[in-house]
Amino acid sequence: MKLIKLPILLMTFVFAAQIQAQTKYTSVPPEESPMPMKPEMTEIWEPEVEVVTPAKKLGDAPSDAIILFDGSTLDQWVSQKDPSKPAPWKIVDNDHMEVVPGSGGISTKMKFGDCQLHVEFSAPDKVESESQGRGNSGVFLQNRYELQVLDSYNNRTYRNGQAGSIYKDHAPLVNAMRGPLEWNTYDVIYRAPRFKENGEIDTKATITVLHNGVLVQNNVAINGTTFYIGLHNYPEAHGDDVISLQDHGNKTQFRNIWLRKL
């Protein structure tokens, strides 16, 4: 008796769940609408969408961006090793900054969470070394999660460590690197990780990256703090934090860095 009843009970349950799903997420209009629909019934007017003036040139900062570096000053940056000290890198031709090898990374003064970030970088003009030794630097979101900067033009290395990779986490979809005398752009859409009250990870960070306008990371989940050795994880909960640029011993250059908080 019980054996016959169980399938019926299960079917009833599945049927009820289906009906509930249909009422929740209708993919077709109901046969009988409670009232005749008019165009304006699906128009939302308030609040009006905020106006942002885009830059004249694509890639330049729009009106609501925070300018982190425009070529003239490192005022928005400090030494990563000792944030009480100024950023130890040099400005070249009032146009770009260049890593001073051995001086350590630099970090923004301001802290960020979710953001849209634009960074331009160029590999050192003189091509030296190979693999990870060529034009290595990195953009560390929230001081933890590295979007790799490398001269990946005619330079083979491990795929999850080349330019456009989330270092040792996600290889880029393609290699869109320009030659060492040219400038590259990164356009990043970043969502910070969310943590539970007990400090465990709730929702991983996600990132989308365009390298020279080419999609290289498509809303991937970042699996944790970037480590050189070992699997990545989220060792501790954190809030907004600084963005850092890495000194990996190469004279990598940066310019036109701006950010929009999301």
Please, what sign has the CA dihedral across residues 94, 115, 208, 81? Answer: positive
Least separation in angstroms between CB 139 and Mg ion: 9
Phi, psi of 215, rounded to the nearest 5 degrees? -65, 120
Asked if 138 is part of the footprint of Mg ion (rule: CB under 5 A), the reply reads yes
Cβ-based nearer residue to Mg ion, 140 or 258: 140
Best CA proximity match to 191, nearest among 138, 142, 120, 256: 142
Cβ-based nearer residue to Mg ion, 225 or 246: 246
Neighbours of 39 (CB within 10 A): 6
Cβ-based nearer residue to Mg ion, 61 or 217: 217
Least separation in angstroms between CB 188 and Mg ion: 15
Cβ-based nearer residue to Mg ion, 70 or 101: 101
- Kindly state the tokens that stand for 3: 């054996």
Select the residue whose beta carbon is closest to Mg ion and give its number: 138
Binding mask 241-260 for Mg ion (x = CB under 5 A): -----x--------------
Asked if 104 is part of the footprint of Mg ion (rule: CB under 5 A), the reply reads no
Cβ-based nearer residue to Mg ion, 122 or 246: 246
CB 88 within 8 A of CB 79: yes
Helices (H) and strands (E) in the chain, counts: 1, 15
Asked if 124 is part of the footprint of Mg ion (rule: CB under 5 A), the reply reads no
Distance from C-alpha of 259 to C-alpha of 117, rounded to nearest angstrom: 4
Selected range binding Mg ion among 52-60, 84-92, 102-110, 131-139, rule: CB under 5 A? 131-139
Asked if 135 is part of the footprint of Mg ion (rule: CB under 5 A), the reply reads no
CB 252 within 8 A of CB 135: yes
Per CB under 5 A, residues contacting Mg ion are 136, 138, 246
